[in-house]
Amino acid sequence: SYFTAPGGERVEIFGHGGGASEAARQGTSFLGEIPLFTEIREGGDAGLPVVIKDPEGIPAQAFGKIAAELRGTMD
C-alpha cells in the first residue's frame, strides 16, 4: 500500500515489495496494492464504494486490477 502526497509523490508507508515477496515465498498469487486514499474510507463510511462513485479514479482502478488478478486465478 502507498499514499500519494498532495504534490503527487508516491510514499511507500509500509515499504515496497513485501507483499509480492511473501506471496512468492508462499507459492501464491500477489493480487496487487491498494492505495491509501481518503476517498476509500469516505466511500465506505457513506456506503458508496469508490468503484461506483468514481469508476475511473485511481482507487477504483486499483480495486479493478485486483479483481482481474483474482478472476485470473479462477480460470
* Percent of the chain residues past pLDDT 90, beyond the cut: 57
Cα distances (Å, whole numbers) of residue 30 to 27, 34, 73: 9, 12, 10
Q: Give residue for cell 469508490.
A: 50
Q: How many residues does the chain have?
A: 75
Q: Whole-angstrom distance between the N-terminal and C-terminal Cα of the chain?
A: 27
1-31 pLDDT tens trace: 788 888 888 899 888 899 999 999 999 989 9
pLDDT confidence bin for 75, thresholds 50/70/90? confident
Long-range CB pairs of 47-54, under 8 A, 24+ apart, other chains included: none
Backbone angles phi, psi at 35, to 5 degrees: -70, 145
